[in-house]
């Protein structure tokens, strides 16, 4: 029997989980034939009801987090220890996810597939806009992502003091395609008028299939 999955997401203020992530979890539940629960880091983390029904040995903690910043380095280990659950690495570290992201960026940039996962041709590299990070580990990860995906990673604050609009950085004059590094819609996606990753069919399918293949 497949393990139950506890998907850990960032969530919005007050622990709200975006509809796109809830829909993904519901479809995954049907595909696996085993319970799939959601937990937001922004909400109060009581022990999930899943643990009471299936027992800790039957539940796998799956962090749907994209950067190895504070949540991955501190919050995730603390929750896994509190709940005594086996956990997977954060989503951004999965090779299958990195390959899917590279393919999406190539498509956006209009580059044909190549022998590796880096863009080709004379077009400028696509931009991957991410939440600002200062941790050395996260910065090294972003450099790795640039090499894997043939893109340029650029920090983009999601909000600015005294305004409701995100403070986007000045984009290079010759910038190509722009992709927000966000699973579900947020203010950055709205400002760019660009769909988040889960609203891009190829990326959503790649994530769904990767989750479906878990034990």
CATH code: domain of residue 88: 3.40.50.1400
Does 57 share its domain with 108? no
pLDDT at 210 exceeding the cut of 60: yes
**Residues 5 and 62: beta-carbon distance below 8 Å:** yes
Pair 142, 64 in one domain: no
Report percent pLDDT > 70 for the chain: 82
Same domain flag for 76 and 52: yes
pLDDT score recorded for residue 212: 97
79 to 64, 94, 113: CA distances (angstroms):
14, 20, 40
Q: What is the pLDDT of residues 36-61, one digit of tens each?
A: 999 998 877 666 677 776 677 889 99
Q: How confident is the model over 71-119, as pLDDT tens digits?
A: 999 999 998 998 889 999 999 999 999 999 999 999 988 865 544 444 4
The residue range of the domain holding 118 is: 94-199
pLDDT at 200 over 60: yes
**Both tokens assigned to 77:** 């280990």
Helix (H, G, I), strand (E, B) or coil at 202: helix
Q: Are 77 and 105 within one domain?
A: no
For the record, the structure tokens of 30 come out as: 């049907």
Say whether both 177 and 161 belong to one domain.
yes
* CA-based R_g, the chain, Å: 18
Count of the separate structural domains present in the chain: 2
Together in a domain, 19 and 103: no
The two three-digit tokens of residue 148, written as one number: 């894997």
Helix, strand, coil % in the chain, rounded to nearest 5: 45, 15, 40
pLDDT in tens, 144-167: 999 999 999 999 876 543 334 445
Q: What does the alpha-carbon distance between residue 29 and residue 35 come to, in Å, rounded to a whole number?
A: 6
Q: What is the CA angle 22-28-30, rounded to 5? A: 110
Which DSSP letter does residue 12 get?
-
Place of tokens 């696509």: 126
Beta-carbon contacts of residue 144 (< 8 Å; ≥ 6 apart):
none
| pLDDT for the residue numbered 174 | 46
Provide the pLDDT for residue 46: 66
For residues 83 and 151, membership in a common domain is answered with no
- Cα–Cα separations (whole angstroms), residue 148 to 116, 119, 134, 174, 191: 9, 9, 21, 21, 27
80 versus 122: the higher-pLDDT residue is 80
Rounded CA gap, 191 and 168, in Å?
A: 8
112 and 60 fall within a common domain: no
3-state SS class at 4: strand
**Band of the pLDDT at 3, cuts 50, 70, 90?**
very high
Mean pLDDT of 175-203: 88
- Let me know how long the chain is: 215
Q: In what order do the strands lie in the sheet with 36-40?
A: 36-40, 4-9, 59-63, 86-87
Element holding 154 (H helix, E strand) = strand 152-155
Helix or strand (DSSP H, E) at 187: helix 187-192
Q: What is the mean pLDDT of the chain?
A: 85
């Amino acid at each position: 029997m497949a393990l139950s999955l506890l998907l850990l997401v960032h969530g919005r203020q007050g622990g709200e989980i975006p509809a796109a992530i809830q829909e993904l979890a519901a479809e995954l539940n049907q595909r696996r034939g085993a319970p799939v629960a959601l937990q937001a880091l922004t909400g109060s983390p009581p022990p999930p009801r899943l643990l009471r029904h299936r027992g800790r040995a039957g539940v796998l903690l799956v962090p749907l987090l994209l950067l190895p910043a504070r949540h991955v380095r501190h919050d995730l280990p603390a929750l896994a220890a509190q709940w005594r659950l086996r956990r997977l690495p954060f989503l951004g570290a999965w090779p299958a996810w990195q390959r899917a992201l590279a393919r999406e960026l190539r498509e956006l940039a209009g580059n044909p597939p190549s022998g590796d996962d880096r863009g080709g041709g004379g077009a400028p590299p696509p931009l991957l806009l991410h939440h600002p990070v200062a941790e050395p580990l996260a910065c090294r990860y972003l450099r790795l992502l640039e090499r894997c995906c043939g893109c340029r990673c650029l920090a983009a604050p999601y909000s600015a003091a005294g305004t409701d609009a995100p403070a986007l950085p000045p984009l290079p004059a010759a910038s190509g395609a722009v992709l927000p590094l966000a699973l579900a819609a947020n203010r950055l996606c709205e400002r760019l008028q660009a769909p988040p990753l889960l609203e891009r069919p190829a990326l959503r399918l790649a994530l769904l299939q990767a989750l479906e293949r878990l034990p």
